Amino acid sequence: MPVCETRYLGLAPYGDAHELQKELAEKRKRDEIPDQFLLLEHRHVITLGRAANRANVLANDAMRAQFGVELFETGRGGDVTYHGPGQLVGYPIIKLLPGRQDIRRYVRDIQEVLIRAARDFGVEAEPRGGDFVGVWVGKEKLAAIGIRISRWVTMHGFAFNVTTDLNYFQLIVPCGISGHGVTSLQKLLGHPVEMSAVAQSVTRHFGEVFNREMSDVGGQRSEADSTSDI
């Protein structure tokens, strides 16, 4: 069973995490390191995927500055999304082995990891077809997925709303899909959920779904910055 090293990076600026991903992905392509699974939270940021429509960013420069929200263009698939404290972001940097070198299957497997993790906390989530990539509870998205694969090494990944301040999603049209809401474990359950518990659940299920031996190589969760309501 291949080893996958897990790191919790705490609260990290998007740009720093993006550079780390690129560095690790190049090393993984050269087989200099084993598979990696980065878990972290981001400071407030709106990211644009390769297919992003800038019209889906509803907040102008002044509004983003007011609420301390960065804007970052990235190489992942998908449209516009938001990251912030209280959201568990996962970046698998793994080499897909022969027999699993299928982009659609990879996305389905990520969905399965998150569905199993949500179920651990009493939430029944599900995938949806068509343009509705991610994990949903009814008409509300619990987790977003946006990936990039180069030479069958993966980058980017998922954003799972745990205790996220959902007001920040008002700054965008999430994933370019109007008429549907966004939810979190906290909203669904009516009480906060420990981020560390969600991280442990996601890590365990990632190992199960992807047939990896998950090896914790350290990293401590940082306390999220205090934020202003929108």
| Cα–Cα distance for residue pair 182/93, rounded to 1 Å | 26
Residue 221 pLDDT exceeds 70? no
Could you tell me what percent of the chain has a pLDDT over 90? 71
For the chain, percent of residues with pLDDT exceeding 70? 91
Helices (H), 70-184: 103-120
Positions annotated as catalytic residues are: 175
| Predicted TM-score (pTM) of this structure | 0.89
Which of 22-36, 90-104, 165-179 is the least confident region? 165-179
Among 117-121, 149-153, 171-175, 209-213, where is mean pLDDT lowest? 171-175
Rounded to an integer, the average pLDDT of 97-110 is 95
Give pLDDT, residue 174.
65
* Phi, psi (deg, nearest 5) at residue 10: 75, -145
pLDDT bin (cut points 50, 70, 90) of residue 130 is low
Long-range contacts of 20-23 (CB under 8 A, 24+ apart): 21/91, 21/93, 21/155, 21/156, 22/155
62-66, 105-109, 225-229: which is most confident: 105-109
Q: What is the model's pLDDT at position 97? A: 92
Q: CB–CB of 77/51 below 8 Å? A: yes
If you average pLDDT over residues 16-44, what whole number do you get?
A: 97
- Whether 81 and 172 have beta carbons less than 8 Å apart is answered as yes
Task: Please tell me the least confidently modeled range out of 45-49, 169-173, 203-207.
Answer: 169-173
Provide the pLDDT for residue 175.
Answer: 55
The average confidence (pLDDT) of the chain is 89
Q: Determine the average pLDDT of the residues in 58-70.
A: 89
Rg (CA), the chain: 16
| Neighbour-count burial for 105-129, b at 16+ CB within 10 Å, e otherwise | ebbebbbbbbbbbbeeeebebebee
What CATH number was assigned to the domain covering residues 3-216?
3.30.930.10
Q: Given this model, what pLDDT does residue 50 score?
A: 77
pLDDT of residue 58: 85
- Pairing status of strand 45-48 against strand 70-73: parallel
pLDDT value at position 219? 61
Q: In the predicted model, is pLDDT for residue 153 greater than 70? A: yes
**Do 204 and 119 touch, CB atoms closer than 8 A?**
no
Q: Note the pLDDT of residue 222.
A: 38
What pLDDT shows up at residue 79?
Answer: 78
The pair of three-digit structure tokens given for residue 164, joined into one six-digit string: 């996220």
